[in-house]
Structure 1
Amino acid sequence: MNKRLIGFIAASLVSSATFASEVPASFDAKKCKAEYPKASLLNEEQGAVTMSFLVSPSGDVMDSKIEKSSGFKNLDKAAVKAISACKFKPGTKDGVVAQTWTKVDYVWSL
């Protein structure tokens, strides 16, 4: 297998609402992928990063933070940058569109 080829990269939404009446924001993981950093490809770096995003009622990312690192700075930065640029479906609180935090796992695999 050619290690330069990007293997399976998956982003999955981890839905864990803070309150029963809160639905976190979501996005289409198939349309929103990060480009594997060249240095990470060369070094055969792999891992999963868990991030949290604050999503506005309009579906834009307002803030982000890394909850659990992949172990590689380049992979973490690339995942945050790519997912932050995605358009989210806004979350709701008590049935009303609202600003919400949502967790996302992004897996880097060769």
Structure 2
Amino acid sequence: MRNYLCFLALSASISGPVYAESPTAPSSKCGEVAATPPCNCEKPRYPIESANRNEQGKTTLQFLLTTEGRPTRIMVVRSSGYPRLDGASVAAITNACFKPIEKDGKLIEQEASIDFEWKLD
């Protein structure tokens, strides 16, 4: 199977980009977010059928980050144009967790969005 790059950009008022590398590339760290590093960030798998059909695109998801650091209320707000890629994006963020956001000594919920950019070599 061809290599791919999936770029993830988490958008919240206090966060920065997250990157997922090619599944065949060695990776010493999964991602990096300014104030909310992922505590569980597995590389999303490129759907085999999407790779075979050369499907590429960007999916934007919106979600609520809970006080436990789990994404909930996940919605596709911009489709890649391919349901398999959108579904893989939802599955990846569903299984992720982030360091909970703290404000004034209290854990808070935070609306956030993330872009999954699916590209084949």
Q: 1:27 to 1:52 in 2, by over 3 A?
A: farther
Aligned positions of 1:13-92 closer than 5 A: 13-15=10-12, 17=13, 23=14, 26-28=36-38, 31-92=41-102
Matched, 1:9 2:6: yes
Q: Pick from 94, 97, 109: which aligns with 2:107?
A: 97
Unpaired runs of at least 5, structure 2? 16-34
In 2, distance between residues paired with 1:85 and 1:43?
26
TM-score (norm 2): 0.71
The amino acid of 1:13's aligned partner reads: L
SS at match of 1:79: helix
Unpaired runs of at least 5, structure 1? 18-22
In 2, distance between residues paired with 1:107 and 1:10?
5
In 1, distance between residues paired with 2:3 and 2:83?
18
- For the 8 Å contact 1:34–1:82, the answer to whether it is kept is yes
TM-score (norm 1): 0.78
SS at match of 1:57: coil
Instruction: Using the aligned pairs only, state the percent identity.
Output: 31
| Aligned-pair CA distance for 1:33 | 2.2
Greater share of residues in strand: 2
| Aligned-pair CA distance for 1:92 | 4.2
Q: 1:27 to 1:43 in 2, by over 3 A?
A: farther
In 1, distance between residues paired with 2:53 and 2:36?
32
Tell me how many residue pairs correspond in the alignment: 101
* More off after superposition, 89-98 vs 60-69: 89-98
Question: Which residue is equivalent to 1:20?
Answer: none
